[in-house]
Structure 1
Amino acid sequence: MNRCLHRNSILHWPRLLGVFCVCLGLFIGVIDMSKPALAEEPGPTVSLVINGKAVFSDVQPLLENGRMLVPIRYIGESTGASVTYEAATKQVIMEQKDRRVSLIVGSNVAYVNGRHYTLDVPPKIVNDRTVVPIRFVSEALGYRVNWDERAQVAQIESKEPDDSVAIVKEASNPYVVQAGDTLSKVALQHGTTMSAIKKNNYLSSDNLTIDQILFLPNDSKTATNPLSKKVGDSGLLKKTYYFPFNNRSWYEPYGDSFGSDREWTESSDGSVRSHEGIDIMAPKGTPVYSVSSGTINRIGWNTYGGWRINITDESGQYRMYYAHLSAYTPGLRIGDTIQAGQLIGFVGDTGYGGAGTVGMFAPHLHFGLYLNDNNRAIDAYDYLRYWEQNKVASPFFLMGQTRRRIS
């Protein structure tokens, strides 16, 4: 899979009780015990992301004395840290680079590079898993930690952030390349230079293709063939809409797969159906964000889409469809209000069969766009290319921005 990196506490414990597939959690402040337990989740959920990917666990997190304890094995597997357990002394040792963290099951004493610390809660054994206080261990190893209150997801980053790449900074004047266009012709026509266009779009050559989107520099004339002229609704070309991956996610360059043939059907009668969305290939567990603000109108298993979620946008005109997910974020229900840029789930390879079917195709996000009044599918490719310049910022993203070639 190619890398496509773009430049451009309060834990509500009742929300976690219903988590089916959550791996890890993070203590953030005071616990609100006044809220009732949530109903059964609509599908598998994950409440922890490490280094940009969801982490699945067979042991739920524990909450004791306002601290979250999680299986140490999964921290090590996701960060590359070494983890050892000395059965005779019940000592857990975690090492990475120049950091060495030592804890003892049942003891409030811990050591970081030989320095003594007192824990609020000790490590313990649960279902043959050693669980440890996640915040203490993460910070002791020098990891960065964030709690997404809205999504109820803990995020840990053990790697140094990559701030060497960038997004298109001036994206308000998109031009659609026409037959016969050259880079010099487009530049002259819009009162700018070839080098300015190439720099803004991160182009490595002067070659153009028909229907390619060029983001003209802000001091250029208004595009003579604007993207708004090509798409059906220019109202969707606004900064209130987000790309479904954040600005540090990896994904492959994607094409316009709308309308292509798909051979798998429920009836298995050999018929061919038309693809009603855009497929973006990405690693399993990649966080998926809501493109728009709106309301959940469907969530759960779909034979074709696997674990999917439908969100009606706040205008009531459109439905956004996110399919083949591996899991949701905790607590999502039909009727819930969702904000644009809210984390809602994770890339997977579910679908094409009964509940739980996986592996029928490579992991990817299927994004569909539908008119709400008549359920007609719309080609979302051009909208996605525009929204691609507006991404949710990773909490660990510093001053740099992510980059990909615009073509």
Structure 2
Amino acid sequence: MTRVGWIVLGIIVLLFAGFASLTRFGGSLPLGRPSADPATTVRSDAAGGDLVVPVAGVARESLQRNWGDPREGGQRAHHGLDIMAPRMTPVLATAPGRVEKLFQSGLGGTTLYLRSADGSTVYYYAHLAGYAPGIAEGQQVSAGQPLGFVGDTGDAGAGNYHLHFGVQRMQPGQRWWQGEDVDPFPLLAPRVASR
């Protein structure tokens, strides 16, 4: 097999592994209800449903809050959640919605904006190595569907592979860049059981 063939096979295996890690066997839960398995989904008032961790194979317990951390020598605060993962790990739709914008940004590099099905939330994916095959603006996607791959584009720094994941609450008529930033960590972190 040629080198290109091995690369294509590797990408297919990664996509399959990402899909398989999100598949539930033995029934499904009604939309909007928390999963019995907190490692898979968590209730989110911002999205009106359950959110998928947006990087395949990353456990909720491994997420670390970095909202508000200083950037550029303290000139600005971090408005997102950085999720570390190996290069080319599949990046997944955290919720069902529509791909609003594919964009090349100086800070974010290769980015994607996903608007929730009800239009009230935009999910921002930055530093991607590239988009998943077939992803296009205006496309409807399902929760867990591959959108792209973890990379180090933009200001991430060479070899600093991670997904910068942002969440914005949107008002009617607002465009993809106009929402109010929300800390994504509580929307994805495992819930603590109440006694």
| Corresponding position of 1:316 | 119
Kept after mapping to 1: 8 A contact 2:53/2:60:
no
| Corresponding position of 2:136 | 333
| Corresponding position of 1:380 | 184
Kept after mapping to 2: 8 A contact 1:320/1:367:
yes
| Corresponding position of 1:267 | none
Q: 2-side partners of 1:262 and 1:254: how far apart?
A: 19
Summarize the alignment of residues 6-405 of structure 1 with structure 2, pairs less than 5 Å apart.
72-74=2-4, 154-155=12-13, 172=34, 234=45, 236=47, 238-239=49-50, 241-246=51-56, 248=57, 253-263=62-72, 272-352=75-155, 359-360=157-158, 362-373=160-171, 375-386=179-190
- Identity fraction in percent: 29
- The number of residue pairs the alignment matches comes to 168
Deviations 1:13-56 (A, max 9, x none): xxxxxxxxxxxxxxxxxxxxxxxxxxxxxxxxxxxxxxxxxxxx
Kept after mapping to 2: 8 A contact 1:251/1:281:
no
Q: Under a length normalisation based on structure 2, what TM-score does the superposition of the two structures give?
A: 0.70
Kept after mapping to 2: 8 A contact 1:260/1:274:
yes
User: Residue 273 of structure 1 aligns to which amino acid in structure 2?
Assistant: R
Q: 2-side partners of 1:243 and 1:255: how far apart?
A: 13
RMSD: 3.8
| 1:370/1:201 CA distance change after superposition, 3 Å | closer
Q: Under a length normalisation based on structure 1, what TM-score does the superposition of the two structures give?
A: 0.36
Q: 1-side partners of 2:34 and 2:112: how far apart?
A: 30
Structure showing greater Rg: 1
| 1:250/1:385 CA distance change after superposition, 3 Å | closer
User: Residue 333 of structure 1 aligns to which amino acid in structure 2?
Assistant: A
User: Residue 113 of structure 2 aligns to which amino acid in structure 1?
Assistant: N
| 1:330/1:378 CA distance change after superposition, 3 Å | same
Q: 2-side partners of 1:304 and 1:254: how far apart?
A: 22
| 1:368/1:378 CA distance change after superposition, 3 Å | same
